[in-house]
Amino acid sequence: MNLGLGQLFWVVLQRDLMVAMRRWSDICNPVVFFVLVVSLFPLALSPRAEFLRALAPGVLWIAALLAALLSLNQLFRADIEDGTMEQMLTLPYPLGLVILAKTLAHWLVTGLPVVAVAPMLAITYHLPADAIGVLLLSLLIGTPTLSLLGSIGAALTAGLRQSGVLLALMVGPLMLPVLMLGARATDIALGGDDPTGPLYLLGALLALALSLAPPAAAVAIRISAD
Amino acid sequence: MWTWFFQLASPPHFYRMAGSLVPWLLWPALLLILIGSWGGLVLAPADYQQGEGYRIIYVHVPSSYLSMMVYVTMAVAAGIGLIWRIKLAHAVAASCAPVGATFTAAALITGMLWGKPMWGTYWQWEPRLTSELILLFLYFGYMSLRSAFNDLNQSDRASAVLALAGVVNVPIIHFSVVWWAGLHQGPSISKIDAPSIAFEMLWPLLVMILGFTLFFLGVLAMRVRGEVLEREFHARWAQDVLRGANRVEAAG
Amino acid sequence: MARRRDGGSGSAELLTGTGLTLWRGANCLFEQLSFSAAPGGALLIRGPNGSGKTTLLRVIAGLTRAEEGEVQWNGAAILGRDESGRHIMAYCGHATALKPDLTTAENLRFFARLSGYPTGRLTELLAATGLTACAGLPARVLSAGQKRRAALARVLMSGAPLWLLDEPQTNLDAAGREFLARMLQEHLAGSGTAVIVAHQSIDLGTAPVTVLQMGEAA
């Protein structure tokens, strides 16, 4: 191997970020979609402050989950189509690490912006400051888990032509625990109770996904590139 | 041990063996289900709280037990197929999915029917029904991924990865649903209090579970036979089988 | 089904395939196929469209699994690297692995870093492959022939002893084909090995060439 594992991770991460930076729409779309979904609820239901406050944790988390599901479709697709993945498969590097780097790059350009605008949207839902803090923390721990879980599904469907709905159908159910824990943590904070329990559980899920998802996605990518 | 295993996994051998096994599974299954139904619907006394309505457990509990068991069977078979590259295992996994989804749907429907007299509504977001609903989604995801590929080999391996990811998640999902439900309505009312259930009520349930399991195995054997025949379509033994079948049809 | 025809010598054999069998659905692409290529030698895979040439190359690259049989490198199952972790193979398929939004130079720099090619020598390499003029252009505006040249530059950077090239002449002009022949001759002269899927003939100089003739499309 010509590169250490840390260097490999950095080289892949850097390249994916560079590719993403050249296409601004890829970065903006998930965030704009997130904002759009969140703004639908007051319009469709009711703009009353106490009603929106009760709704906020669930709505923000569902919108974050949908934004993640929509953006995941592109995670490995281009690499499979343009032959980059064939190169990664024939180079002497551990594929799991390459996938982890790519997933991190993907989260940085699609997940992190969503987390960043969430507090602003929470204000429009009249969420109190401490609940916003918990929401931010839960999204920060939870959305990487969504990306990691999604990387398995994205790897499985990367070679298929029409896969958007299929991907959502496959990984949506797997993402439900993250949604329940994240939304509930915020809800608990809103009720004035201590949300550390579900936050720890979210952290545990992240650790589990970090260790299991990249190898699973690596197996899946080999199948898709076949 | 291994030679035996590989001989069993050879498609023509399996096809013959499973064929002779099917009646030995399905007839006892029918018998057990009849005995269990008679025991559950006629012999067992009415529940002092739920009256006659509880008797739907004799269908609900075996279905819901099998909905989980079939998923695990499917994932184990898929894992064997993925790791040891045994095609028969993939055929088993492929055959499990629709059966498991059917049991899950049966568990959901009977659960809802039971809910009406018990809660006064068909649907209650309680952990068991909610888990069952998510399980149904998992089955649908698996089946639609399987059908999305043109290449059978790719389809087998990809869906195997999904089944394994799903089986790791099933306990996590179940645990989160129980935790989530606990926050909302306090400890939910357990439908069957295992220790206090009367023996006259319990034995038909166990008989039904056994009967349903044999039924599943029989149906699985039949489905895997069809699946293997379709996959090995070009092989000589499969052609022989199909020609034989055509002869029988022509004669009849 | 494929038959084997010997054309070259078979001394210390580095790359070997034994008993390779692959079915696609009910179609048999190849059955019990064996071949070998010694260092300094080339293996040419020929055959009509649909006879499984690309698939065979992908099997050698480890991208597709054969149902039976094994491809070996120095007597061990072929992986992306040998025991010392050295990069063994440079695969060049139909897809050129270029990101349309990155410039040619940026695209190549990524693979240079992955294969340990000194990035300082990239300018030299771009000149050699005739890509100097488009080094700063996004890969999406490159012509098909220029993309092919960039892919060949990637193969040169790899420093791998085994080259796996799938119809490398596609879209190349006369000068490009000549460059390809020269780079292959140099690679083989330095006891490299090459497996090439080719329709047209390639001038490989004096290097021993084995032709693997794949059969009719099933």
C-alpha dist (Å) from residue B176 to A184, A202, B132, B134, C62: 11, 11, 13, 12, 41
Contact B18, B225 (CB under 8 A): yes
- Residue A45 has phi, psi (to 5 degrees) of -105, -85
Q: List pLDDT tens digits, range A116-157.
A: 999 999 999 999 999 999 999 999 999 999 999 999 999 999
At residue C5, the pLDDT reads 36
Contact A11 C114 (CB under 8 A): yes
**Confidence bin at A20 (pLDDT 50/70/90):** very high
Chains in contact with B via at least 3 Cβ–Cβ pairs below 8 Å: A, C
Distance (Å, whole) CA B221 – CA B149 = 24
C-alpha dist (Å) from residue B11 to B15, B85, C32: 6, 14, 21
Q: State whether residue C195 is helix, strand or coil.
A: strand
Q: Tell me whether C26 touches chain B (CB under 8 Å).
A: yes
Distance (Å, whole) CA B76 – CA B67 = 15
Q: What ipTM describes this predicted complex?
A: 0.91
Distance (Å, whole) CA C174 – CA B193 = 84
Distance (Å, whole) CA B165 – CA B82 = 13
Q: State whether residue A176 is helix, strand or coil.
A: helix
Contact A90 C81 (CB under 8 A): no
CB count in 10 Å sphere of residue C49: 8
List the beta bridge partners of residue C33: C20
Q: Tell me whether C170 touches chain A (CB under 8 Å).
A: no
Q: Tell me whether B6 touches chain C (CB under 8 Å).
A: no
Q: State whether residue A168 is helix, strand or coil.
A: helix
* Global pTM value: 0.89
Tell me the mean pLDDT in the region B23-40.
94
At residue B184, the pLDDT reads 59
- List Cβ neighbours of B85 (8 Å cut-off, separation of 6 or more): none
List the beta bridge partners of residue C24: C27
Contact B183 A184 (CB under 8 A): yes
List the beta bridge partners of residue C58: none
Distance of CA B43 to the CA centre of its chain: 27
Out of A11, A83, A93, name the one closest to residue C97 (CB). A83
| Tokens, residue B46 | 């009415």
Contact A163, A73 (CB under 8 A): yes
Distance (Å, whole) CA A52 – CA A45 = 9
Distance (Å, whole) CA B91 – CA B77 = 9
Distance (Å, whole) CA B213 – CA B215 = 5
Contact B154, A223 (CB under 8 A): yes
The residue type found at A186 is T
Beta strand pairing status for C76-77 and C68-73? antiparallel
Contact C26 B233 (CB under 8 A): yes
At residue B12, the pLDDT reads 86
On chain C, the residues whose CB falls within 8 A of the CB of A87 are: 91, 97, 111, 154
User: Looking at B129-133, B198-202, C24-28, which range is the least confident one?
Assistant: C24-28
List the beta bridge partners of residue C92: C165
Query: What is the distance in angstroms between the Cα of B167 and the nearest Cα belonging to chain A?
Result: 10
Distance (Å, whole) CA B193 – CA B112 = 19
Distance (Å, whole) CA C207 – CA C37 = 11
> Nearest 5 degrees, angle CA B13-CA B18-CA B22?
160
Q: Which of B135, B145, B149, B168 to mutate to test the interface with A (most CBs of A within 10 A)?
A: B145
Q: List pLDDT tens digits, range A146-159.
A: 999 999 999 999 98
Q: Per-residue pLDDT for B174 more than 90?
A: no
At residue B155, the pLDDT reads 94
Contact C196, C174 (CB under 8 A): no
**Confidence bin at B249 (pLDDT 50/70/90):** low
Out of A173, A219, A220, name the one closest to residue B138 (CB). A173
Contact A152 B162 (CB under 8 A): yes
Highest-confidence segment of A65-69, A188-192, B7-11: A65-69
Question: Element (H or E) spanning C164, and its range?
Answer: strand C162-166
Q: Average pLDDT, whole number, for chain B?
A: 86
Q: State whether residue B65 is helix, strand or coil.
A: helix
How many Cβ pairs within 8 Å bridge chains A and B?
A: 77
Q: Tell me whether C25 touches chain B (CB under 8 Å).
A: yes
On chain A, the residues whose CB falls within 8 A of the CB of B134 are: 173, 176
Contact C97 A2 (CB under 8 A): no
User: Looking at A186-195, B193-202, C52-61, C164-173, which range is the least confident one?
Assistant: B193-202
Q: Tell me whether C63 touches chain B (CB under 8 Å).
A: no
Distance (Å, whole) CA A44 – CA A42 = 6
At residue A208, the pLDDT reads 96
How many Cβ pairs within 8 Å bridge chains A and C?
A: 79
At residue B1, the pLDDT reads 52
Q: What is the DSSP letter of B43?
A: I
Distance of CA A88 to the CA centre of its chain: 23
Distance (Å, whole) CA B100 – CA B108 = 12
- List Cβ neighbours of A44 (8 Å cut-off, separation of 6 or more): none
Contact C96 A91 (CB under 8 A): no
Question: Element (H or E) spanning B97, and its range?
Answer: helix B87-119
Contact B149, B90 (CB under 8 A): no
- Give the per-residue SS3 of A81-135: HHCHHHHHHHCCCCHHHHHHHHHHHHHHHHHHHHHHHHHHHHHHCCCCHHHHHHH
The residue type found at A28 is C
Beta strand pairing status for C15-24 and C27-37? antiparallel
Q: List pLDDT tens digits, range A35-71.
A: 999 999 999 998 899 999 999 999 999 999 999 999 9
Higher-pLDDT residue of B100, C32: B100
Contact C104, C139 (CB under 8 A): yes
Out of C86, C101, C111, name the one closest to residue A87 (CB). C111
Nearest to B178 by CA among B227, B235, B130: B130
Out of C85, C91, C114, name the one closest to residue A86 (CB). C91
Q: Tell me whether A60 touches chain B (CB under 8 Å).
A: no
Tens-of-pLDDT digits for all 218 residues of chain C?
333 333 333 334 588 888 888 887 667 888 888 898 888 999 999 988 888 899 999 999 989 888 888 888 887 777 655 455 567 889 999 999 999 999 999 999 999 999 889 988 999 999 999 999 999 999 999 999 999 999 999 999 988 899 999 999 989 999 999 999 999 999 999 989 999 998 888 888 888 888 888 875 44
C200 burial type by CB count under 10 A (0-12 exposed, 13-18 middle, 19+ buried)? exposed
Chain A residues 192-211 within an 8 A CB cutoff of chain B: 201, 205, 208
